[in-house]
């Protein structure tokens, strides 16, 4: 096989990995809607909702570092399949949860699979495309995330009100069947296959990620991942609940979040276009600064129209930035340590994903205003954008294996 796949093979890989990404997003999205429903059914307080979403992120942090490391050792394909099976099984079993503690345990396991799949899938796609197409390909891969959130919002709107939150979790177990298709549909990247004989131990890979050659890039990308994940999970896992806090009914909040979620798709597609035209740093810095402004706007919105408009802008720019982040990170490291580097950055970012939603729960329980809470996210996103602007390097067109 050629070093880079043919165009039909590229499309097949992109869509095959993309649907696994969609299912991942669907599961994360469902927990945000289920949390809002559980608050009513189980009479959960704001801190408990924050804890539930935070535990999901703790699992994602552990999964990212473990799966990222294993993918450099045993291949991208096999680890992708295992992580897909793990989160599907745990998500389906969540439907049988009899209490809050049991649900938290299952959400940790599901998060482990979810967090493990994302860095592995992005690494696989990045390695399988030629330099001039890889950035756009990874952003398009990330665009399936919007599809997953849209599916989650549709399930929340049409299923949860009539059939309950358990039915939503049963639906989220279906990706396990998709893993059977993936076994035949995808292979390891040509780059990984070529370098299979030069495997390093985890200690060697970790040391290399933090060696003088990559230290500045690693520190920059870790800060960026932390601020992006902290703000994203803090804001988006709470969106349905925030809408309820602003006075809307549960069903109405689901409807508005669905509208906001639809804005993610053009956010991804514009990011995919600009990332090859103007570079990774331009897309990330621009979209992150616009995300910060949108967060400030959303937190201070006081009418139905401005709330929806701010939410649409928040979705558009935040998810466009996510696409740039996943395209940028694998380009900083050579093949031998790439998945480990991405996994470590994603894992550190998930620490932010633990703190963000839990912090919102604590602040809401203390009756801190939504505008003050979203000001925190405004500051965090702005810090990430400025760190990248001044310390990050442009990776467009670079091949780390040849540097």
Digit-coded pLDDT (tens) for 130-141:
888 888 999 999
Map out the domains of the chain as residue ranges. Answer: 7-180+201-402
DSSP-assigned letters across all residues of 5-19: --HHHHHHHHHHHHH
Distance, CA of 377 to CA of 293 (rounded, Å):
10
The pLDDT, as a whole number, for residue 403 is 62
Written as six digits, the tokens of 334 are 């050579």
Q: Which residues touch 8 (CB under 8 Å, ≥6 apart)?
A: none
Half-sphere exposure for 389 (CA within 13 Å, toward CB): 13
Distance, CA of 64 to CA of 121 (rounded, Å):
11
Digit-coded pLDDT (tens) for 306-362:
888 998 999 999 999 999 999 999 999 998 899 999 999 999 998 998 898 888 888
CATH superfamily of 7-180+201-402: MFS general substrate transporter like domains (1.20.1250.20)
CB 314 within 8 A of CB 288: no
Distance, CA of 168 to CA of 187 (rounded, Å):
31
The pLDDT, as a whole number, for residue 35 is 83
Cα distances (Å, whole numbers) of residue 224 to 81, 211, 266, 382: 28, 19, 23, 10
Distance, CA of 326 to CA of 311 (rounded, Å):
23
Helix (H, G, I), strand (E, B) or coil at 211: coil
Nearest to 264 by CA among 225, 318, 327, 228: 318
Nearest to 342 by CA among 125, 55, 107: 125
CB 153 within 8 A of CB 30: no
- The pLDDT profile of the chain, 403 residues, written as one tens digit per residue, is 334 445 788 888 899 899 988 998 898 888 878 887 888 888 888 788 878 878 888 998 999 999 999 998 888 989 999 999 999 999 999 999 988 999 999 999 999 999 999 889 989 998 888 888 888 999 999 889 888 888 988 888 889 888 989 999 999 888 888 887 887 888 887 777 776 656 788 899 999 999 999 999 999 999 999 999 999 888 887 777 777 777 777 677 777 878 888 888 899 999 999 999 999 999 999 999 999 999 999 989 878 888 889 989 999 999 999 999 999 999 999 988 999 999 999 999 989 988 988 888 889 888 888 899 999 999 999 999 999 999 999 988 888 877 6
């Amino acid at each position: 096989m050629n070093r880079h796949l043919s165009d039909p093979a590229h499309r097949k890989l992109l869509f095959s990995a993309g649907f696994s990404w969609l299912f991942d997003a669907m599961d994360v999205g469902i927990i945000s809607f289920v949390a809002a429903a559980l608050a009513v059914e189980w009479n959960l307080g704001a801190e408990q909702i924050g804890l539930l979403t935070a535990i999901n992120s703790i699992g994602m942090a552990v999964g990212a570092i473990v799966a990222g490391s294993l993918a450099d050792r045993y291949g991208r394909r096999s680890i992708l399949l295992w992580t897909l099976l793990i989160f599907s099984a745990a998500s389906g079993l969540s439907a049988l949860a009899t209490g809050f503690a049991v649900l938290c345990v299952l959400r940790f396991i599901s998060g482990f699979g979810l967090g493990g799949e994302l860095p592995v899938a992005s690494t696989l796609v990045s390695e399988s495309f030629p330099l001039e197409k890889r950035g756009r390909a990874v952003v398009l891969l990330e665009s399936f995330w919007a599809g997953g959130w849209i599916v989650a919002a549709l399930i929340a709107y049409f299923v949860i009100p009539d059939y309950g939150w358990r039915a939503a979790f049963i639906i989220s177990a279906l990706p396990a069947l998709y893993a059977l298709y993936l076994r035949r549909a995808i292979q390891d990247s040509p780059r990984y296959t070529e370098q299979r004989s030069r495997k390093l131990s985890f200690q060697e890979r970790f040391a290399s990620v933090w060696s003088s050659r990559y230290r500045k890039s690693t520190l920059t990308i870790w800060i960026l991942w932390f601020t992006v994940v902290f703000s994203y999970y803090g804001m988006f896992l709470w969106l349905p609940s925030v809408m309820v806090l602003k006075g809307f009914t549960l069903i109405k909040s689901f409807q508005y979040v669905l509208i906001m979620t639809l804005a993610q798709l053009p956010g991804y597609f514009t990011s995919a276009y600009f990332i090859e035209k103007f570079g990774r740093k331009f897309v990330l810095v621009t979209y992150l600064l616009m995300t910060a402004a949108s967060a400030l706007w959303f937190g201070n919105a006081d009418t139905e129209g401005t709330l929806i408009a701010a939410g649409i802008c928040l979705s558009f720019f935040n998810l466009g930035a996510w696409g740039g982040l996943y395209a940028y990170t694998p380009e900083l490291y050579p093949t031998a340590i790439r998945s480990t580097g991405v996994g470590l950055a994603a894992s550190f970012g998930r620490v932010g994903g633990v703190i963000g939603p839990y912090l919102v729960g604590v602040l809401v329980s203390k009756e801190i205003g939504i505008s003050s809470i979203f000001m925190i996210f405004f500051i965090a996103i702005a810090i990430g954008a400025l760190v990248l602007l001044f310390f990050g390097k442009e990776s467009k067109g670079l091949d780390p294996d040849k540097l």
